[in-house]
């Protein structure tokens, strides 16, 4: 058990010890707060960099998605043209290309393996003015 204080000097020494202990606690707490603020500031800058990276990646993905949409539209148009040409082939089934009817003759021996009986072969149309 603690002894009771008998003089004012004893009380002053005890209060001085408590003040010194509280001062030490305040310094440690202040250092922890400053260190915590430094870490939070560092993390904030890193989070900001990550957000910028995510924004760049999102923009890239949106451009890719737009290109994929255009490719899907083009593919749909090509599919329709091919289906039309398959159902009723003609020499002008594909704009910009010239179609030639072919059967199993020596003129088309290079594509003989592809053709089972008869079909059409399309070549790029010559753009020269003769």
Query: Which range among 17-31, 52-66, 73-87 shows the weakest confidence by mean pLDDT?
Result: 73-87
pLDDT at 103 over 60: no
Tens-place pLDDT, residues 66-88: 999 999 988 888 888 778 777 77
pTM for the structure as a whole: 0.44
Q: How far from 33 is each of 36, 40, 107, CA to CA, in Å?
A: 5, 10, 88
Mean pLDDT of the chain: 80
Could you give the count of Cα atoms lying within 13 Å of 130 in the half-sphere of its Cβ?
A: 3
């Amino acid at each position: 058990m603690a002894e009771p204080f008998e003089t004012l000097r004893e009380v002053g020494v005890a209060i001085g010890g408590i003040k010194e202990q509280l001062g030490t606690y305040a310094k440690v707490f202040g250092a922890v707060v400053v260190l915590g603020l430094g870490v939070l500031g560092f993390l904030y800058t890193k989070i900001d960099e990550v957000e910028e990276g995510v924004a760049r990646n999102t923009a890239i993905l949106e451009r890719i998605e737009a290109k994929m949409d255009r490719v899907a539209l083009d593919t749909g148009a090509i599919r329709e043209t091919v289906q039309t040409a398959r159902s009723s082939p003609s020499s002008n089934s594909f704009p910009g290309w010239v179609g030639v009817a072919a059967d199993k003759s020596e003129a088309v021996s290079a594509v003989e393996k592809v053709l089972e009986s008869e079909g059409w072969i399309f070549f790029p149309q010559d753009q020269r003015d003769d």
